Chain A
Amino acid sequence: QQQVKQSPQSLIVQKGGIPIINCAYENTAFDYFPWYQQFPGKGPALLIAIRPDVSEKKEGRFTISFNKSAKQFSLHIMDSQPGDSATYFCAASNVGNEKLTFGTGTRLTIIP
């Protein structure tokens, strides 16, 4: 049973555009929603994370939007650059559940 659904599977955006990656979850107990960025040949690394007490969090050009009632959250990348080309994973977890559940990933390509 997949508890975190991620879309799209792949995304191509021109430099300067705003790619948006969406995730939906089922488990209402989840209370921590991180995004991980993975470059080819590397392990994933934490990009940004949000907790459900806020609806939006920004860190530099990266923004998470969170909709608790819809059980959805999304990643927006402002002024995207070719260096942002990577695979992005959303994830979810909660205290008492030691397992971090990942989405299936989005391969993002930013073209010059």
Chain B
Amino acid sequence: NAGVTQTPKFRILKIGQSMTLQCTQDMNHNYMYWYRQDPGMGLKLIYYSVGAGITDKGEVPNGYNVSRSTTEDFPLRLELAAPSQTSVYFCASTWGANTEAFFGQGTRLTVV
């Protein structure tokens, strides 16, 4: 099993550009999450989804959008990229609440 797959691994964006970070999981997990990781700040939740067609905001949703049209895929959209969005982004999935979270390898994004 591949687990949670994120693409791309690295990306440099110019201010004002947009992009989509892709995330797919093959474990048939209902719950999926997007986190951003900044040095010394831990993992901050951006958006999450408890099933296809259902999404909700986390701690830091501003500047991002998500969709969940299938159980497997949970893309994160950045519109009008800003330097403050420079970070490492992780997608994760779980079978349900209070169960092991499986993370992707991360996407390192730099906005210049």
Determine, out of B13-21, B39-47, B68-76, B77-85, the stretch whose residues face the partner at the interface. Answer: B39-47
The reply to whether the CB of A31 lies closer than 8 angstroms to some CB of chain B is yes
Interface residues of A (CB under 8 A from B): 6, 9, 31-32, 34, 36, 41-46, 49, 51, 89, 93-105
Residue in chain A with minimal CB distance to B4: A43
- Asked whether, in the complex, the Cβ of B100 is within 8 Å of the Cβ of A34, the reply is yes
- Asked whether, in the complex, the Cβ of A104 is within 8 Å of the Cβ of B33, the reply is no
In this complex, the interface size class of chain B, counting residues with CB under 8 Å from chain A, is: 20 to 34
CB proximity of A40 to chain B, nearest CB, Å: 11
Partner of A93, one of B40, B56, B97, B103: B97
- Asked whether, in the complex, the Cβ of A44 is within 8 Å of the Cβ of B98, the reply is no
- Asked whether, in the complex, the Cβ of B98 is within 8 Å of the Cβ of A32, the reply is yes
Residue in chain A with minimal CB distance to B3: A43
Enumerate chain A residues within 8 angstroms of B48, measured Cβ to Cβ. 98-99
